[in-house]
Chains A and B, each alone.
Chain A
């Protein structure tokens, strides 16, 4: 470890481009971010916003068809120039990942215990019997009942929530410094989701790891995040502390997203304020701001020039030409947006992307 204030993980100017039959698709564009020890950074975005590709790039698990530029440093060392062998040492040991779908991420022909033991022994010279004991302890830590017996079972004998616990046990097996959780609860029911989020929080307390939580669920972010990054159309749109983004957002997309979702607390008779149109096509990026066609704040310049990420307050930045105006308009995320948004009906059909390389990669 270097000096105490130095970030654990630093991503600078990261771009990830996929070659596809329909032309190059830039899934992540000039993204910079830092993660400090012990904190939870939430990355929020809709499908195609680039959040999962960012995670895969950090783990260097992106497919061969992708080209990466920029820099990713972990504990001061550059990851993008490491050899495959060196990178294998970082994976699981320094940075571990919890995937969305535990059924496809676990190997069906090995027992849960085998897979955790393999994880431990890949990085430490632990005798097998000892590793099995550790595996049972890890399963107990993540709340799997009868851990010694369950370790001898196969993934199909586990329920969805239990599988996700097993994945978390694998991820924390070597006390990684960073845990990347990519939509860890999307496949789970709410009561099980609450259990799994508690397990991740407990694992974080136990290991002191930083957590990068990737999700589309703003509710999960509100409950678990310390800082938030909002992504849209492959770019970082807003970043700040939890309260900055939820209560003092300086970005029209974040604001519109917050007021478009029905919440348990909101008076139900209120009409939702939808975001018109569709998410942008990454195949044909617009010259200006990718949110411009859907934005109620858009002015002429928004269609012509990409706005920079500008600082609106300490630790709070927004990508918007009108960030300063947006940030002072209304405090409550659930109050209606100030400008009236045209109704979606009759919007021209943005023809959907014929090939979608990104979701398939994430599959």
Chain B
């Protein structure tokens, strides 16, 4: 299973997008998409990254492949700093770092046959034609398609099959790390399970390390070994899957989990749901201090001024939280809220 050496390390990664305005297109502000994110991906593990829209999870995925250049921070792949290496070198590194995109309709070139699509990464890597043909057939089979599907074009396939093509394209160069950006959210419910199972099979067969980016907490729980929760560009909690879902420490994680509807009427009837007030603030002007303080029922003056760091809880280095007042194991946010109300 997972190794103890990180295969990919992000150290204080920052990505800001300039906001330009006026005739001269002067920079008038910054969108803080990713703010100071440090994460390790271990060999053959699946790291889930969850968060709501605008939390920076997609930018994070693209930045660590350098499809978007980071503003600052470092990306280390297998012990080597790849943050500033040149284009040709980066191309060689991408053989080991591949990505599957969210929209299977937009991410496949409609004018290319499936064989050309799946074989393109091999062509870029300079693999000869005969081997490419063989490898493409093998990959199509690995993702549950038939070799003869190679002659067809994307429009002839359903959403689920297109996502299989996207996955085949990503693994055809035998990468070590696969970034999956919302790989099942565009698919029908009955098709999602097929693709999730496929990803699990491929991970085992090709010894892949995966970063699984999604907004669906149920899907992330299913597939991940560890999970990072992002809010407005920062990682607010990082823990092993079961710890995160059974004993979340950050008030945001807690309320996010309580907001997810579960397909079980009895559970829904007895559930205590915490409905967060307000919207996610704009990443162009994130609030000072803890980014979550504007919606947090526990926020104090300290939260409004002092940025909480992502630190281990009770010496458990596997469980890290960025909160001044983390919840204890087994404590619910509602209990804490009522406690706070009494003492105030």
Binding site for B on A (CB under 8 A): 46-47, 159, 161-162, 189-195, 197-198, 216-223, 225, 242-243, 246-247, 256-258, 260-266, 268, 271-276, 278-279, 294, 333-334, 343-352, 354
Bound: A121/B241 CA distance, A: 53
Bound: A190/B224 CA distance, A: 19
User: In the complex, are the beta carbons of A217 and B261 less than 8 A apart?
Assistant: yes
Determine the residue in chain B with the shortest Cβ distance to A258.
B263
Q: Do A220 and B145 contact each other (CB < 8 Å), given the known contacts A191-B276, A352-B156? A: no
List 6 tightest A-B contacts by C-beta distance, closest first.
A219-B261, A345-B144, A262-B222, A274-B193, A218-B263, A189-B52
When A and B form their complex, what is the total count of cross-chain residue pairs whose Cβ atoms lie within 8 Å?
Answer: 169
Q: Which residues of A contact B135 (CB under 8 A)?
A: none
Q: Indicate whether B309 reaches chain A with its CB closer than 8 angstroms.
A: no
User: In the complex, are the beta carbons of B264 and A263 less than 8 A apart?
Assistant: yes
Bound: A220/B242 CA distance, A: 24
Q: Which of B145, B266, B275 contacts A194 (CB 8 A)?
A: B275
Stretch in B30-38, B62-70, B213-221, B318-326 touching the partner: B213-221
Q: Which of B268-291 contact A (CB under 8 A)?
A: 268, 271, 273, 275-277, 279-280
Q: Which residues of B contact A190 (CB under 8 A)?
A: 52, 215, 217, 256, 259-260
Q: Indicate whether B262 reaches chain A with its CB closer than 8 angstroms.
A: yes
User: In the complex, are the beta carbons of B144 and A264 less than 8 A apart?
Assistant: no
Say what secondary structure dominates the interface of chain A.
loop
Q: Indicate whether B255 reaches chain A with its CB closer than 8 angstroms.
A: yes
User: In the complex, are the beta carbons of B263 and A275 less than 8 A apart?
Assistant: no
User: In the complex, are the beta carbons of B265 and A246 less than 8 A apart?
Assistant: yes
Q: Closest CB of chain B to A98's CB: distance in Å?
A: 17
Q: Can you list 11 A-B contacts with CB-CB less than 8 angstroms, sorted by A residue number?
A: A194-B259, A195-B276, A218-B263, A222-B267, A262-B218, A264-B260, A266-B222, A274-B196, A279-B188, A344-B194, A351-B157
Q: Which residues of A contact B261 (CB under 8 A)?
A: 193, 197, 217, 219-220, 222-223
Q: Which of B125-172 contact A (CB under 8 A)?
A: 144-146, 149, 152, 155-161
Q: Do A276 and B194 contact each other (CB < 8 Å), given the known contacts A216-B188, A346-B144? A: yes
User: In the complex, are the beta carbons of A219 and B188 less than 8 A apart?
Assistant: no
Determine the residue in chain A with the shortest Cβ distance to B149.
A349
Say what secondary structure dominates the interface of chain B.
helix
Bound: A343/B195 CA distance, A: 11
Q: Do A265 and B264 contact each other (CB < 8 Å), given the known contacts A190-B217, A257-B189, A349-B146? A: yes
User: In the complex, are the beta carbons of B158 and A261 less than 8 A apart?
Assistant: no
Please report the total number of B residues contacting A with Cβ < 8 Å: 56
Q: Which of B197, B218, B275 contacts A274 (CB 8 A)?
A: B197
User: In the complex, are the beta carbons of B280 and A223 less than 8 A apart?
Assistant: no
User: In the complex, are the beta carbons of B197 and A264 less than 8 A apart?
Assistant: no
Q: Indicate whether B191 reaches chain A with its CB closer than 8 angstroms.
A: yes
Q: Which residues of B contact A262 (CB under 8 A)?
A: 193, 196, 218-219, 221-223
Q: Closest CB of chain A to B159's CB: distance in Å?
A: 8
User: In the complex, are the beta carbons of A189 and B161 less than 8 A apart?
Assistant: no
Binding site for A on B (CB under 8 A): 52-53, 144-146, 149, 152, 155-161, 188-194, 196-198, 200, 215, 217-219, 221-224, 241-242, 245, 255-257, 259-268, 271, 273, 275-277, 279-280
Q: Closest CB of chain B to A89's CB: distance in Å?
A: 35
Q: Which residues of B contact A256 (CB under 8 A)?
A: 190
Q: Closest CB of chain A to B184's CB: distance in Å?
A: 10
Q: Do A219 and B262 contact each other (CB < 8 Å), given the known contacts A192-B279, A194-B275? A: yes
Determine the residue in chain B with the shortest Cβ distance to A197.
B261
Q: Do A278 and B191 contact each other (CB < 8 Å), given the known contacts A159-B279, A352-B158? A: yes
User: In the complex, are the beta carbons of B263 and A261 less than 8 A apart?
Assistant: yes
User: In the complex, are the beta carbons of B263 and A246 less than 8 A apart?
Assistant: yes
User: In the complex, are the beta carbons of A260 and B193 less than 8 A apart?
Assistant: yes
Bound: A16/B145 CA distance, A: 34
User: In the complex, are the beta carbons of A272 and B276 less than 8 A apart?
Assistant: no
Bound: A345/B146 CA distance, A: 9
Q: Do A242 and B265 contact each other (CB < 8 Å), given the known contacts A189-B280, A192-B279, A349-B156? A: yes
Determine the residue in chain B with the shortest Cβ distance to A196.
B275
Bound: A363/B258 CA distance, A: 31
Bound: A194/B275 CA distance, A: 6
Q: Closest CB of chain B to A258's CB: distance in Å?
A: 6
Q: Which residues of A contact B276 (CB under 8 A)?
A: 191, 194-195
User: In the complex, are the beta carbons of A191 and B189 less than 8 A apart?
Assistant: no
